[in-house]
Amino acid sequence: MLITLAGVIGVGKSSMTQLLSELLETKAVCEPVEENPMLELFYADKKKYGFLFQIDMLSKRFELIQEAMSVKNGILDRSIYEDSIFLKQLYDEGAVDKLELDVYTKLLNRMLKELEPLPKKSPDLMIVLNCSFEEEIKRINKRAREFEKVEEGTELYEYFRDHHANYQDWMAKDLGFPKLIIDVTELDYVNNPEHRMKVLMMIVDELFHVGAISGEEHTYLSQKACLSRAF
């Protein structure tokens, strides 16, 4: 079984990945974006570093999805399937040019073809965590280092606002595999046990609905999700 998380920046994908790995007793594969030394350069000058940063992240996401698809069960906190959102936005903003967009698109398509021979060709379920733009900014600033803080009226604020809008459009697309969209604007599943149980139960029910788990597994995981209120 392969599950991949998706969603706007700061929505809580990594936290949910860890919760699901504990619930399903399987491997969590997390994107090391916070440790990427190019992140600060990207925020400082997207026109100079935008293409380099996205190529670097595409390469890392390709390696991670290869890793997740090569094991029996895996959970990935962001995947190659949503990567184009970032580069397309930079192109629309004029931070990358048409040649760079074309090079990136060809590389992405080649990488997707390379995934075809793997044992698991696509996710059993993509879980898309969504929230309001105001909540996204609140969560980003809560965990942000100084160069990541987002203030209204700044270029970075406009970047995240466009990014949020682009994600809403992307969520409507058919990716060819099951997708569960959960609005977590009012849900704090990290700190609130009731919220945690609610979200985990939604995911367990959907995994059963799409045939990723059996009826017996659904019963077992539902019981575990209820017990999640205790941790």
Report, as an integer, the average pLDDT of 72-82.
85
Q: What is the pLDDT of residue 61?
A: 86
Q: What is the pLDDT of residue 50?
A: 93
Q: Which residue intervals of 77-123 are DSSP H helices?
A: 84-93, 98-115
CA gap 21, 17 in Å, rounded: 6
Residue pLDDT, tens place only, 109-153? 998 888 877 767 788 999 999 999 999 999 989 876 666 788 898
Both tokens assigned to 163? 């990014």
Please confirm, yes or no, whether 56 is among the known catalytic residues.
no
Report, as an integer, the average pLDDT of 9-35.
85
Report, as an integer, the average pLDDT of 196-215.
95
Report, as an integer, the average pLDDT of 214-224.
94
Report, as an integer, the average pLDDT of 171-185.
93
Neighbours of 195 (CB within 10 A): 16
Marked catalytic residue, from 45, 56, 77, 92: 77
- Average pLDDT for the chain: 89
CB contact burial 130-157 (16+ within 10 A = b; e otherwise)? bbebebbbebbeeeeeeebebeeeeebe
Report, as an integer, the average pLDDT of 170-191.
93
